[in-house]
Every structure is written in structure tokens, then in C-alpha cells.
Amino acid sequence: MLRRALLAALLASLAAGCQAARASDRGAAVETLPVPDCGGTAGKVVVLDPGHGGKEAGAEGPDGLLEKDANLAVALELARRLEAVGATVHLTRTTDRAVLDRSLGEDLRERPAIANRIGADLFLSIHHNARQGERETDLTATETYYRMDDLGASLEAATSIHRYLVRALEPPAEMLIPGNYSVIRNARTAAVLGEAAYITHPGVARKLRTPEGVAQEAEAYFYGICDYFQPGVPRVLSLEVDFKSDKLRPEVVAVLSGGGSPLDPQAISLEVDGAAERPVLRGDRVVWRAPGPLANGSHSVEVWVRNLAGRTSVPATASISINEPPAAITLSPAFDFAPSGGPAPVQISIVDVLGRPVADGTKIKLKASAGELAQDEIVTHGGHAAAYLIRIPKAGATLTASAGAISAAVKVPGASRPALMGLVTARGGQPVAGAQILVTSTTRSMASRTNREGLWWLQGNPGGLREIRVWAPGYREEILDARAAAFRWTELEPVAGLWVDQTVVLDPEGGDARRDAAAMRAQDASWRTARQLKAIFEAAGANVILTRRPDEGQPDVVRMRVANSSDAVLYVRIGHLVGAAPQSRAEHHPNNKLTGKLAGVISANLARALGVIDAGAVPNTSYPLLQTTTDAVVIYTGGIEQVPEHALEARCRLEADAIFRGLMPPEPNAAFIKVVAQQDRKPVANALVRLDGAWIGQTGPDGAWIFPGMPPGQHLLTIDDGKRIRHVRVMGVEAGESREVVVEMERPEIPDDLG
């Protein structure tokens, strides 16, 4: 009975709590907040940044009020209030001027730099929003942005400020949003950007022309700032690394302040190289000692704390440099002979007294008793390096390598023999590291990869050599005749040179399986197009990041965090229009001329490839376009409702190809290659077509796929219909030529296409 009574009491209390929550939901929309105690604001350093200024006017109200003027008026009134309670206030501008009268980018970087130089406790950028493309509108809202990568101090400051803005202004809509604007992204303190209201709303514009309207906003910001500082904000006063007791296991010591409230011992974070460690709290200090010898090189340390009032410090960072001297050198000649026509590689490994690789960049001095050295000084990577001897006499040579206080020597043979080795470079002579080498003979196959200098070699010379295939991401595959062992220099042609080693973020829209059938199909198509585009970019040598998997729907803020943490050069969101006229359009940030041009070309390419209406480039201020750190486009296509399910994959491949070509500069000498796959003179649909091991197509009902924009010269074509694979060498393609290559799938291998 007691158990049943306790259960009934528990259920009753839960029901009462739910009723209270529902009653609160039905209550007033504006939160009732007390006037905060501003005593905690005394002594704090606050940087106020009135947005825009000078020739950058910002938005304009329906009555001609300029955003830059409204921002400055609110900031000056707010500064007066903060100074009255003892805060030290710095304004990035006090008149109608730019902070730096140079480029807009430099001006935006200087604003948070001011806060960083003076060690501000808070950076607040004051703005007023606008409805894109409309001068008069009934839309207004309060939007408060915090630095996206700071879920501690910036989020806490923004939360306090946002609550008081909403209480004072009573907007019809309000949002607390992670932001990635340059001015808050580059601030190394609690950073907030306020969009208190829309200046394009007639009522807002009228109010901001009055002292009372300006004072209302300034007071709301003021109370929010006081509320943030009231419980005390903790700080990491100092962060030092002590090597005195053990140079391989240094001690990290952080001196802390709770800001007037005790520190929470369960909310102290110390990370080394991004991994959480367990420090010891000793009064106002956090101490951590490395559990074992740290590896040679540089290590990052980050410390932040929280007090019992729930406020979080700004992270403090330091670096640890471990550079133990070399203790042993090992020299290993790659061959027991001197390769004819090429250098003799000698691999070098250097470790410290504990047998660990020395720090990257350790200098190695080389000396040869005979012959010539390609370089007489090299540096290590991962404890390894390679030396190269040329013109070795028959008697051989002695190679000596010195690093620090130690050295080692090895005898390099001088007897000359052919060797399977070579050099791979890009057009222009830069070495291509990591290129795949496949050597085939009548008896076996062997594989290798190029090293950092672009060199490769193989032990042994099998009989019956046939060919050497050379491939690297971003370059056209090269196939070399190889009838005998020799040194070969291969210069690779780029598939799309500007994408090699660049990072691209692809963001397929949607992913939420709870949508209706039409929306789900559109989301599936977006994923398929993104997947196909990923393959094209990777073939062009790019590193590609997808923001979601096919079965998940991520919020925009998660997608932006993925994009902005990747140091990408381009962000592309891909979506499909449902229920609209079949059309293509590409959206871009209104102030970015480059992405505006790209958007126009992409939309036109899609319209031509898909046979839909070209809606062109559309300026937009959507969250992804505003919050990415890189150039961004948002691409939409329509008309997939008419595409049968069995043809959807081919349609998405066509979209991906059109998008990618819109991102490529025009090729003045481009050729046009049309591939037609046939079986008994009938077209073969859905055959995979690959050109130069990189460009990928899929034949349509007519058995054809077109490769536009191809460089002149020789190309290698592969067609796979699921039953047979055919290889064709497309020979002698000339600049501006239109070449049609018909491949009969039932015929034996076709060695050449003579045009």
C-alpha cells in the first residue's frame, strides 16, 4: 500500500507541474524581469560597436532613416548609462565614419580587434535589421546573435541581453541565434550582435527618430548587460606552462577567479590537443601534469571554468613546445645499386633518446664523399626524410647525415643498373605527393606511391613489363608504355586545377523523414545530387564534406558549424523545388559579387541541361548565406515530379555535372566529346561513362552522354553497361573540336578512336 501511495503522490506532483507549465504558456508573452543590480558592471571593460558608418550606411527606413545613424545613437546612449555605473566603455566609432577607412573587410576585422587588444569583458555590435528588397514592410522582430563557436560566455551574455530586449520592445517575433558574422567571430571575448528591430518597419523607424525610442533600446541593452555581469563572470587570470620539474612532462597551471561567486569544481575544463584531461583544483588554481612524455612538436592547451552562478569564462589558450634533440640516425639506401637515369634515394629516420620521432622541421645536414647531392640540407616530417645522390662513381660513395650533435654514415653502392622508379609532377613542375603507381607485367602487378618530393620506386624488375598507370586526385590518369625498367618523369594534367587540395562543403537540403511524400522525394534527390557532386569534386582533387547523411535532417546551425569548422573555400546548398514550375535558380549573398556571378552561371547551366526555366541569380539573406565564413551559393532545381524513379539517379548526375561546370572558369580551347553507347546498333541507356578516370557520366535513353569543356589532346574513355567494360583511347582531339565517339558494346576491346 505504501508503494502505491508514493506512486500516486509522485503522479499527482508531476501532473501539477505540467498544469503549471501549460498555465505559464497561456500567460503573458513578455517575460516579467526584475531590474538587475548593476553593481557587477563596475570595473568591467565593454566595447560597443555601432554597426556600419561612413559610406557603409547599412539598411534604410521608409522615411530615409539610415541604419548607421540609428546604431550610433543607441550606442552613445548605452555608453553613457554604462559609464554611469562604473564600466569602462570603448566605442569603435563615435561619429559617422568607418572604423578603418580602407576595405570593408579590414574595417570589419578592426572592430573586434579593438576588443582583443584591450582585453574586453564584452563585445557588443549594435545593428537594426531590414527586409531584403522591400523598403516598407510590417515585418519586425528582435534577433540576438552570439558567437557560434562559444556556447559559454557569448551565449550567456546574449541570453541576458535578448531577454531584456524582448521585455522592453515586445516584438511580435524574437530569436536567439548562433551567429557567424565577422565582427563576433573574431572577438576573443563574450561577443554578441544585436538586431533589436527592423528599421524597414515604419513604426520602428519613427520610434528611432525620437530620443525616447533610442533610450528604450539603450536601456534594454543596459539592463541585459547588467544582468549578465550581476552574478559575477569568472576569468582565467593566467595560464602558464612549467618545464622546471620535467621537460617532457610539463605542468600546466591556470590561476582562476570566480568573479565574485565560487567556482564550480565540476565545470572546469582543460583540453590538450582537443582531448579532455582531468586537472586538479587547488584553491584558485587548476593544475595538470602530462601523464607521460609528450610527443615532440607543438601541443595546444585550452582552459575554461564556470562559477556556481552559472557564468562561464572566456577560454584561455597556451601552447606547449616539445623539441627533444636527436639521439639516433638511421640511413637506409633504397637500392643495393645505383639506378641508371635517376637518383639513388636514401631514407633517413631520426629519433630522440626515448625512440620517438623528432619534431617536424628538424634540420639534417648532408655530405657525400663522391657524386652529387640533390640538396645538402633537408628537414624531417614525422621523424623521416629522404636524401638523393646522383652521378655516383662505380666505387660508390659515403653519405653522412648530421642532426644536432649526432651523425651517421652509410655506403651507397655505385654499380649501375636500371630501376623501376620515376618522378611525378604537376604542370609547372610542382611534385605530386601521394600519386598512385600501378606497374603491370605478364607475371604480376606491383604498386607504389609518390613521396613528398614526387618520387616513387619499386624493388625488383619483373619480366614482361607492360604498362605503368599513374593517378592522383585532381589529375588525369596517365598510362605509360613500360617495356623495360627505367626512370620516368610523368607530368600530370589537372582535371580542374583550381580545386586540387581545396575543401568544399556540400549541404543537401532537408533530410527529415517526417515530411510528406513529395518533400521526401525532393530531399532524396538533393542527397543524390550532392553525392554525385561530391564524386566530381573529389575526382578534381578537392576534399568534400557533406553536412548530413541520407537519413538525417540537421538544423541549419549544425550544418553551419560543420561548414565553418572545415576551412572550406566554398559552401553549396542543394535543394529541389516542389509544386512550382520547372525552373532552376541559384541564391547568393546580396553583397557578394563573385557568388552572384557564379549563381547566374550555375542557374543557366542547369536550365540548359535539364530543359527548365532559368530563374537566374537571386540575392537572399537566408541563414546559410549570412552565416558561412566562405563564399556560398544555394541552388534549387524543379521538375523532378515528372522524372520516373528509375531515371532519378541519371537526372541527379546531370544536375551535379551542370553545377560543377558552372563553378569552372571557361576553357578557351575547349573541345566537345559526345559518347554514344550501342548494342546491336541500339542505344544503351544507364551505362557508366568515365573520361580520364575523373569525369563521370551516365547515358540517357539515347545512349549518349556529353563531355563539354574538355582540353585538347588524348583522352581515355571507359564505358560500363553492367555486363561489359570497354576502353577507348580518344586520340588527337583538337581545340574547339566537336567529337562524337560511338562505342559498340558487343565488340571486342577497341584500342583507338581515330576521329
- pLDDT band at residue 753, thresholds of 50, 70 and 90? very low
β-strand pairing of 275-277 with 280-282: unpaired
Look at residue 669 in the predicted model and tell me its pLDDT.
Answer: 80
Look at residue 464 in the predicted model and tell me its pLDDT.
Answer: 84
pLDDT tens digits for range 216-264? 999 999 999 999 999 999 999 999 999 988 889 999 999 999 999 999 9
DSSP-assigned beta bridge partners for residue 95:
none
Q: What is the mean pLDDT of residues 412-429?
A: 92
| pTM of structure | 0.83
Contact 477, 470 (CB under 8 A): yes
Look at residue 392 in the predicted model and tell me its pLDDT.
Answer: 94
- Phi, psi at 281, each rounded to 5°: -90, 120
Cell of 395: 666505387
pLDDT tens digits for range 704-737? 988 888 888 888 888 999 888 888 888 888 988 9
Contact 301, 238 (CB under 8 A): no
Q: How far apart are CA 755 and CA 744, in angstroms?
A: 15
Cα first-last separation, the chain: 94
Instruction: Calculate what percentage of the chain has a pLDDT beyond 90.
Output: 67
Question: If you write DSSP's letter for every residue of 635-691 in order, what string do you get?
Answer: EEEE-GGGS-GGGHHHHHHHHHHHHHHHTSPP-TT-EEEEEEEEETTEE-TT-EEEE
Q: Which of 23-32, 310-319, 347-356 has the lowest mean pLDDT?
A: 23-32
Reduce the secondary structure of 483-495 to three states and give it as a string: CCCCEEEEEECEC
Q: Which of 29-43, 532-546, 640-654 has the lowest mean pLDDT?
A: 29-43
pLDDT at 135 over 80: no
SS3 465: strand
Look at residue 355 in the predicted model and tell me its pLDDT.
Answer: 95
Look at residue 666 in the predicted model and tell me its pLDDT.
Answer: 75
Mean pLDDT of the chain: 89
DSSP-assigned beta bridge partners for residue 287:
253, 280
Element (H, E) at 144: strand 142-147
Give the sign of the dihedral formed by CA 536, CA 539, CA 545, CA 551: positive
pLDDT at 16 over 50: no
Q: How far apart are CA 203 and CA 172, in angstroms?
A: 13
Q: How far apart are CA 248 and CA 134, in angstroms?
A: 63
- pLDDT band at residue 110, thresholds of 50, 70 and 90? very high
Q: How far apart are CA 226 and CA 85, in angstroms?
A: 9
pLDDT at 21 over 50: no
- pLDDT band at residue 667, thresholds of 50, 70 and 90? confident
Reduce the secondary structure of 192-241 to three states and give it as a string: EEEEEEECCCHHHHHHHCCHHHHHHHHHHHHHHHHHHHCCCCCEEEEEEE
Q: What is the mean pLDDT of residues 527-546?
A: 93
Contact 254, 270 (CB under 8 A): yes
Give Cβ neighbours of residue 734 (< 8 Å, ≥ 6 apart).
671, 712
Closest of 553, 538, 566, 536 to residue 632, by C-alpha: 566
pLDDT tens digits for range 471-494? 898 888 888 888 888 899 999 988
pLDDT at 313 over 80: yes
Look at residue 746 in the predicted model and tell me its pLDDT.
Answer: 80
Query: Which amino acid is residue 69, in one-letter code?
Result: D
Q: Is 28 exposed, middle or buried (0-12, 13-18, 19+ CB in 10 A)?
A: exposed
Look at residue 137 in the predicted model and tell me its pLDDT.
Answer: 66
Instruction: Calculate what percentage of the chain has a pLDDT beyond 70.
Output: 94
Where is pLDDT greater, at 416 or 132? 416
Where is pLDDT greater, at 693 or 36? 36
- pLDDT band at residue 12, thresholds of 50, 70 and 90? very low
Look at residue 30 in the predicted model and tell me its pLDDT.
Answer: 55
pLDDT at 462 over 80: no
Cell of 201: 518597419
- pLDDT band at residue 23, thresholds of 50, 70 and 90? very low
Look at residue 513 in the predicted model and tell me its pLDDT.
Answer: 62
Look at residue 132 in the predicted model and tell me its pLDDT.
Answer: 64
E strands, 413-454, are: 416-417, 420-426, 436-441, 445-449
pLDDT at 108 over 80: yes
- pLDDT band at residue 144, thresholds of 50, 70 and 90? very high
Q: What is the mean pLDDT of residues 23-39?
A: 62
Look at residue 635 in the predicted model and tell me its pLDDT.
Answer: 97
pLDDT at 19 over 80: no
Look at residue 659 in the predicted model and tell me its pLDDT.
Answer: 94
Look at residue 754 in the predicted model and tell me its pLDDT.
Answer: 41
- pLDDT band at residue 443, thresholds of 50, 70 and 90? confident
Highest mean pLDDT among 492-496, 527-531, 686-690: 527-531
Please report, for residues 278, 349, 385, 584, the alpha-carbon distance to residue 295 in angstroms, rounded to integers and kept in the order given. 19, 16, 18, 53
pLDDT at 755 over 60: no
Q: How many CA atoms lie within 13 A of 515 on its CB side?
A: 17
Look at residue 461 in the predicted model and tell me its pLDDT.
Answer: 77
- pLDDT band at residue 749, thresholds of 50, 70 and 90? low
Q: Which of 86-90, 450-454, 554-558 has the lowest mean pLDDT?
A: 554-558
pLDDT tens digits for range 278-300? 999 888 999 999 999 999 999 99
pLDDT tens digits for range 495-528? 877 888 899 999 999 887 666 788 889 999 999 9
Contact 262, 231 (CB under 8 A): no
- pLDDT band at residue 5, thresholds of 50, 70 and 90? very low
SS3 40: helix
